[in-house]
Amino acid sequence: MFIKDLYAISPQSTHDLEFEGGAWQEQFAKYYAAIEPSYQNLIPANLLRRMGKAVRMGIGSGLPLLQRNEETDGIIIGSANGGMEDCIQFLNQIVDYDEGTLTPTNFVNSTPNSLAGQLAIMTKNKGYNMTHVNGSLSFENALLDGMLFFEDQHQSASLLIGAVEEVSVYNYNIDLLAGRFKSEITPNSKLISTQTNGSICGEGSTMFIVSNDPQKAIARVVDIAQITNSSFDDLHAITTQLLEKNGLLPEMIDLLILGRNGDVRTDHWYDQFSNKFTDTTSICYKHMCGEYRTSSAFACYLASQLFLGNFQNYTHVIGEIPSTFNYVLIYNHFDGERHGLILLKTI
């Protein structure tokens, strides 16, 4: 499966590629909010004012790709929570109006598959349409679904695959009480080095056009692996299996992109993982986008930009950045329970 085009809305200025050029947006808040583009010339005003933030960001990142790649055969989205804010508002309305006359807009935006459906309607895309709501492995499952889709294709085909997550006040407070996020405000430039309990919440939408045709591709998604409720031995075993399956040795991986998030309780997973790749350079990415369940999509975006030579914001580097990249391995976990690996290769 080959990445042909990509777009990201994140807490950095990725929508206009200023971030890729070296610009850094300092975020100093209890959560890192996405920097959204102007939707004025993209989404009709009567639709825009009814959209929740997750749907708005998803349309804002997915629609430009679908407009540039009109012959797209389907849409696959991964989202752990979907439009959670609209979902809570709708549930509150049920109580407030005693199950009477409810506003349908909040219900429509509350379902996780709302984004995939609205993208299909806006572009008249009648192809395969699927939303994966598998917690912090939603994006990995969306990629896996795309790979299975292409196995059944006997001619050139393409898909829009992506992930979206928003900061919901209600859900954020629940996660804060659960200890997932830091109680103190932490600037993103210092997030990885804090080493205290919890991380800082983030949000964003990352979309890709992928195809089974390698022509003019940016990168190849070689393989995906995932595991839940594992031990260190289980993680090493599945990593070894992923490498051996694709004829690779650890030293053949040019770069690791790791999901360190500044949580002292769980960042040791990345230390254990890196022990298998003693000579491989690693970088972190969650100080750029914050911690959210489908942040691995943003890591995939960064890897693609690395292959294009567009990325300059190297920070939290262990080792020496190689001059060229052949294989990049992304490793991310959430709460130390659900672990995902994405193996990418340059073209």
Strands 327-334 and 255-258 come out as: parallel
Domain end marker among 180, 211, 242: 211
Same domain membership, residue 295 and residue 197: no
Same domain membership, residue 116 and residue 67: yes
Contact (CB, 8 A) for 309 and 206 = no
pLDDT at 28: 92
Structural tokens at position 196:
């205290």
If one counts the domains in the chain, the total is: 2
- The rounded distance, in Å, linking the Cα atoms of 133 and 113 is 9
User: What domain range includes position 49?
Assistant: 2-211
- The rounded distance, in Å, linking the Cα atoms of 110 and 104 is 10
Same domain membership, residue 178 and residue 69: yes
pLDDT at 72: 96
Query: Residue 242 contacts by C-beta under 8 Å, 6 or more apart in sequence?
Result: 223, 225, 341, 343
* Phi (first) and psi of residue 126, to 5 degrees: -105, 15
pLDDT at 99: 80
Same domain membership, residue 152 and residue 296: no
Same domain membership, residue 192 and residue 147: yes
pLDDT at 322: 84
Phi-psi region at 250: left, alpha or beta (left = phi > 0; alpha = psi -120 to 50): alpha
Strands 158-165 and 204-211 come out as: antiparallel
Same domain membership, residue 296 and residue 185: no
Contact (CB, 8 A) for 175 and 64 = no
pLDDT at 237: 96
- The rounded distance, in Å, linking the Cα atoms of 136 and 269 is 16
Strands 2-9 and 204-211 come out as: antiparallel
Same domain membership, residue 241 and residue 200: no
Cα separation of the two ends of the chain: 11
Same domain membership, residue 235 and residue 181: no
Same domain membership, residue 224 and residue 185: no
pLDDT at 300: 97
Domain end marker among 168, 192, 211: 211
Contact (CB, 8 A) for 306 and 256 = no
3-state secondary structure of 221: strand
pLDDT at 64: 97
Same domain membership, residue 301 and residue 225: yes
pLDDT at 236: 96
Place of tokens 């045709």: 213
Domain at 45, CATH number: 3.40.47.10
Closest CA to 57 of 113, 127, 7: 7
Residue 27, beta-bridge partner list: none
pTM of the model: 0.93
Q: Mean pLDDT, 10 residues at a time, over the chain (347 residues)?
A: 98 94 91 95 88 92 96 95 74 80 71 90 96 95 98 95 92 90 93 94 98 96 96 96 97 96 96 93 95 97 93 79 91 95 96
Query: Residue 322 contacts by C-beta under 8 Å, 6 or more apart in sequence?
Result: 254, 255, 281
Based on C-alpha coordinates, what's the Rg of the chain? 19
- The rounded distance, in Å, linking the Cα atoms of 172 and 165 is 12
Domain end marker among 164, 180, 211: 211
* Phi (first) and psi of residue 229, to 5 degrees: 50, 55
Same domain membership, residue 175 and residue 37: yes
Contact (CB, 8 A) for 43 and 63 = yes
Contact (CB, 8 A) for 35 and 191 = no
pLDDT at 109: 65
Same domain membership, residue 124 and residue 16: yes
Contact (CB, 8 A) for 72 and 66 = yes
